[in-house]
C-alpha cells in the first residue's frame, strides 16, 4: 500500500488529458469558485476571481509538464553493463493546505502529484473546506478515478490528530505542508518515524528594500501589489519595509497618497472593495498588538492603526514610521495590512537587516542601479527575490524558501515535480 499509485490505470497521456479537462471545468465554474472563496476566506470577489485564474494555471501547467518527466541513460564503465535511471511516482501523498489561498495551494500541490501518477489525501484548512470539496467534485466530473483524489475535513480541534495520523502512517510516502514554521517543525518530527519525504513551505518575514536610486512610483506600486493581496495575509507579503534615508520621506508621502486612493476596506462582494476582513477575530487581535507594541516603543502612526468600525474582523490599512529593530513587527510574521518602515543609511546595512531572520522565503528590492541589482539579488538570503517587481508568483517559476521557510520547491520547470517522484537506477548486466 505504501507505493499505491494511479499510474497503472491512468497512463501519462490519460493523466494529462484529465487535468486539461479539469482545467476547463474550473474555468467554466470560475464565478462559483470565486464566490465560495470570498464567502469562506473574505477576500474581495475580484481578487477571488484572480485566485481561480492563478490556481487553475497550475492545473494547466502540470497537465503539460508531466509529459516532460525523463530518466537518463548513463555511460557505462563496462562493456557488459547498461545503466539508466527511470522516474516513478512516489505513492500516496498527504497534502495539508492553508486558508489564505484555498484553491491555489491545493492545485499547486495536488496537480503535481496527480500528473505523475500519485494518489492524494488532502486535508484543507478547517477555515476553508468548501473550496477544496468543490474542486474535488470538478476533478471527479473530469473523470479522475475514485480514490485518487481524497479530501479529509475537520474542525479546528481535530486538525492536530489528522495531521499526526497522516505523518505517522506507513501508507503515506510524502507529506506536503504549507503553513507556519512552528507547525511545520511539529509535522517534520512526527513524519520522522517513517522516514517520510517532506515538502515544507513555511513562514516568511519578507523585507521590502527601497534604495535611493529606486523609481519611487514603481516602488509604491510594488509595495501595494505585494503587501495588500488578501489584506496582507500571504506568506510572501513584505513584512519589513527598509527605506534609504534620503528617499524615506518622499516614499512615505507617495505611499500614503496611493493607499488613500487605491485601498478600500469593505464587504468582499461590494464594488470597489480591495481589502476584506482578516480570517478571524484572533488575527485582528494579533495585528492590533503589533501596532500597539510599535507605538509604545516610539513608532509614529501615519495612517490606520485603530480597529475598524466596519466589523470585528476588519483592520484598516496601516503605515508606521520610525520603526526600530526592537519592535515585534520587525521580527515576527505580521500577516495583516501593516506597513512598518525602517529608515536605513547604506546598502550594507539594508542587506544585514534583511537577512537577520530565521526565515528566507521572499525578499524585494527596488533600485535602478544595474550593478546594485545584481549585488542585492545574490546577497539577499531568500528563495524568491523580486527586483523592481511586487508580483512574483507564477506556475512557471519555482516557489520555496531558505532556512526555516521550508524544504523543496513547488511549480517551475521540472523542479516542481521532483518531490513526487522516485529516481530508480537500473543496471543491466551480462550483455
How far apart are the C-alpha atoms of 187 and 177, rounded to whole Å?
Answer: 8
> What's the pLDDT at 11?
79
The catalytic site residues sit at 201
In the numeric block, which cell numbers belong to residue 182? 512552528
Common-topology check for domains 12-202+405-428 and 206-387: no
Does domain 206-387 bear CATH number 3.40.309.10?
yes
In the numeric block, which cell numbers belong to residue 44? 474581495
- Domain locations along the chain: 12-202+405-428, 206-387
Half-sphere exposure of 48 (CA within 13 A, CB side): 26
Sheet holding 238-244, edge to edge: 300-303, 318-321, 338-344, 238-244, 206-210, 362-366, 384-387
> What's the pLDDT at 307?
86
In the numeric block, which cell numbers belong to residue 70? 525523463
Phi, psi of 17 (to 5 degrees): -65, -40
> What's the pLDDT at 8?
39
Q: Are 217 and 252 in contact (CB under 8 A)?
A: no
> What's the pLDDT at 308?
75
Question: Mean pLDDT by 10-residue block, N- to C-terminus, for the chain (431 residues)?
Answer: 44 90 98 98 96 98 94 96 96 98 98 97 97 98 96 95 97 97 96 96 96 98 97 96 98 98 95 95 96 97 88 93 97 96 98 97 98 97 98 96 96 93 97 91
How far apart are the C-alpha atoms of 97 and 57, rounded to whole Å?
Answer: 18
401-419: b (≥16 Cβ within 10 Å) or e: bbbbbbbbbbbbeeebbbb
> What's the pLDDT at 310?
78
State the CATH class of domain 12-202+405-428: alpha beta
Please indicate, yes or no, whether the overall pTM of this predicted structure exceeds 0.85: yes
Neighbours of 357 (CB within 10 A): 25
Amino acid at each position: 500500500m505504501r507505493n499505491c499509485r494511479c499510474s497503472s490505470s491512468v497512463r501519462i497521456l490519460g493523466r494529462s488529458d484529465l487535468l486539461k479537462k479539469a482545467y476547463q471545468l474550473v474555468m467554466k465554474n470560475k464565478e462559483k469558485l470565486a464566490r465560495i472563496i470570498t464567502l469562506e476566506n473574505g477576500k474581495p470577489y475580484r481578487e477571488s476571481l484572480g485566485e481561480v485564474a492563478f490556481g487553475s494555471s497550475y492545473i494547466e501547467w502540470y497537465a503539460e509538464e508531466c509529459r516532460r518527466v525523463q530518466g537518463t541513460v548513463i555511460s557505462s564503465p563496462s562493456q557488459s553493463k547498461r545503466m539508466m535511471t527511470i522516474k516513478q511516482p512516489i505513492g500516496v501523498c498527504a497534502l495539508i493546505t492553508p486558508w489564505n489561498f484555498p484553491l491555489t495551494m491545493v492545485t499547486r500541490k495536488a496537480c503535481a502529484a496527480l500528473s505523475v501518477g500519485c494518489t492524494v489525501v488532502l486535508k484543507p484548512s478547517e477555515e476553508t473546506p468548501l473550496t477544496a470539496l468543490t474542486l474535488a467534485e470538478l476533478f471527479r466530473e473530469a473523470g479522475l478515478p475514485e480514490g485518487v483524489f481524497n479530501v479529509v475535513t475537520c474542525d479546528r480541534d481535530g486538525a492536530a490528530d489528522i495531521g499526526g495520523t497522516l505523518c505517522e502512517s506507513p501508507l503515506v510516502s510524502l507529506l506536503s505542508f504549507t503553513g507556519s514554521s512552528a507547525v511545520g517543525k511539529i509535522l517534520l518530527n512526527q513524519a520522522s518515524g517513517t522516514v517520510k519525504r517532506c515538502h515544507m513551505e513555511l513562514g516568511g518575514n519578507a523585507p521590502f528594500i527601497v534604495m535611493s536610486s529606486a523609481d519611487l512610483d514603481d516602488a509604491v506600486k510594488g509595495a501595494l501589489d505585494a503587501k495588500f493581496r488578501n489584506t496582507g495575509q500571504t506568506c510572501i507579503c513584505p513584512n519589513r519595509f527598509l527605506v534609504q534615508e534620503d528617499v524615506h520621506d518622499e516614499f512615505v508621502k507617495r505611499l500614503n497618497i496611493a493607499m488613500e486612493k487605491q485601498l478600500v476596506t469593505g464587504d468582499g462582494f461590494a464594488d470597489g472593495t480591495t481589502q476584506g476582513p482578516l480570517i478571524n477575530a484572533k488575527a485582528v487581535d494579533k495585528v492590533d498588538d503589533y501596532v500597539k507594541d510599535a507605538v509604545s516603543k516610539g513608532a509614529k502612526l501615519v495612517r490606520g492603526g485603530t480597529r475598524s468600525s466596519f466589523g470585528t474582523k476588519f483592520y484598516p490599512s496601516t503605515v508606521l514610521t520610525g520603526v526600530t529593530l526592537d519592535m515585534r513587527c520587525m521580527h515576527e510574521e505580521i500577516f495583516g495590512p501593516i506597513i512598518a518602515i525602517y529608515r536605513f543609511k547604506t546598502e550594507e546595512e539594508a542587506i544585514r537587516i534583511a537577512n537577520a531572520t530565521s526565515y528566507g522565503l521572499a525578499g524585494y528590492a527596488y533600485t535602478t542601479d544595474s550593478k546594485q541589482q545584481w549585488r542585492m539579488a545574490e546577497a539577499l538570503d531568500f528563495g524568491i527575490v523580486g527586483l523592481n517587481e511586487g508580483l512574483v508568483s507564477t506556475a512557471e517559476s519555482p516557489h520555496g524558501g531558505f532556512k526555516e521557510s521550508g524544504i523543496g520547491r513547488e511549480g517551475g520547470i521540472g523542479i516542481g515535480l521532483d518531490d513526487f517522484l522516485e529516481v530508480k537506477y537500473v543496471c543491466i548486466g551480462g550483455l
